[in-house]
Amino acid sequence: MAPKAIIVTGASRGIGLAVALYLLNASHKVVLVSRSEEQLKGLKGKFPSQVEYIAADLTNVNVAAEVTKLAIKSFGKIDGVVINHGVLHPMTRIEKSSIDEWKELFDANLFSALALAKETIPHLRTSKGRIIFTSSGAAKHAYTSWGAYGASKAALNSLVQHIGVEEPDIVAVALNPGRTDTDMQKDIRETGAPGIAMSEADHANFKEVFEKGGLNKPEWPGHVIAKLSLDAKPEFSGKVIPWNAPELAEYRE
């Protein structure tokens, strides 16, 4: 496969870092985005001709245009976009929640994703490219105090479905990574304690899965996302798919 140019957000750790490393080791070009610069700077040093990056907060919707311009200036095209960034908090019951906090979370999880999709769609039409969103099981399964996060991921899934309907030359997929060993999972175990946020049963289940070694390694869904960003099949467009679904078997090889 000839080298492709892929934008990856949330690229400094966890699933996003796994996506970036897979693409780089396969000789592709990447534009990496994260609020934290240290890891991105290190990747630029290791892969100088393959990496460009912006250390910025995507909730500033102007950053989406900057990222898009950097990709075109550096690599002349955009073949794929991986929208992987997101936040969990506020982890609060709805009756105690703040509308402003919900708006801040939707800025991070939905509107920043929408801004980047909107900016890159014209270039993805030209390349007949892919746009892959990291979804969550919380979009379909409710947990106490996860209202803002779950609702934002459900909205993200709907965004993917609408891109699938509106853009026949682009393949848009939402990938559910399952429970993966990331900082977010650690945050759930440490701050989601019963009486503060989650129900006792749900919190105990998250801790048990971790203690029994049941979490996915970031590379498992990360490599699937990376491969989908390169050549997701057209029939996947507009769909929300678990990373370990039978139809993705060849992307897990």
Q: Which residues are catalytic?
A: 135, 149, 153
- Residue 36's identity, in one-letter code, is S
In the DSSP assignment, the letter for residue 54 is E
What does 69-102 look like in DSSP terms, one character per residue?
Answer: HHHHHHHS---EEEE----------GGG--HHHH
What are the backbone angles phi and psi of residue 29, rounded to the nearest 5°? -100, 145
- Angle subtended at Cα 47 by Cα 43 and Cα 52, rounded to the nearest 5 degrees: 70
Q: Who's near 53: CB < 8 A, 6+ residues apart?
A: 11, 31, 32, 33, 34, 37, 40, 41, 43, 44
Maximum Cα interatomic distance, the chain, rounded to a whole number of Å: 53
Q: What is the CA radius of gyration of the chain?
A: 17
**3-state DSSP helix/strand/coil % of the chain, to nearest 5:** 55, 15, 30
